[in-house]
């Protein structure tokens, strides 16, 4: 009787550890994909608009936007967002990603 309980407990622990490992892998993969997408968008913007006057003029507004977590939206930053989206219509980046890319210039 003791052996069957011990075997049952070992089986439950094995199944539980497999489930935890699987959820950890899924969570890690999701986070890595999100960071990769953000990095790709940032690098696309920084390489394309490095010398663009409209985008460079929005640096201070971008810093305020990032520091306030999106609460402060300056006129120059809004202009830069519109300019970037017009120049690169296929770019799938959020305002936060664009603001971070502008700061990276």
Q: What angle do CA 19, 22, 28 make, to 5 degrees?
A: 140
Query: What is the SS3 string spanning 48-60?
Result: HCCCCHHHHCCHH
Classify residue 68 by its DSSP letter: T
User: pLDDT by residue for the chain (105 residues), tens digit each?
Assistant: 566 676 666 666 666 655 555 555 555 555 556 555 555 555 555 556 777 888 889 999 999 999 999 999 999 999 999 999 998 888 888 999 999 988 887
Token pair listed for 20:
């935890």
The pair of structure tokens assigned to 100 is: 């971070």
Q: Taking the model in full, what pTM does it have?
A: 0.55
């Amino acid at each position: 009787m003791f052996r069957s309980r011990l075997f049952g407990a070992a089986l439950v622990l094995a199944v539980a550890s497999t489930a935890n490992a699987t959820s950890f892998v899924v969570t890690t993969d999701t986070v890595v994909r999100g960071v990769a997408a953000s990095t790709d968008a940032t690098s696309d913007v920084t390489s394309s608009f490095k010398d663009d006057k409209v985008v460079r003029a929005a640096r201070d507004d971008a810093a305020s936007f990032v520091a306030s977590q999106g609460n402060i939206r300056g006129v120059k930053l809004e202009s830069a967002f519109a300019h970037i989206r017009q120049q690169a219509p296929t770019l799938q980046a959020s305002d936060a990603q664009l603001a971070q890319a502008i700061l990276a210039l």
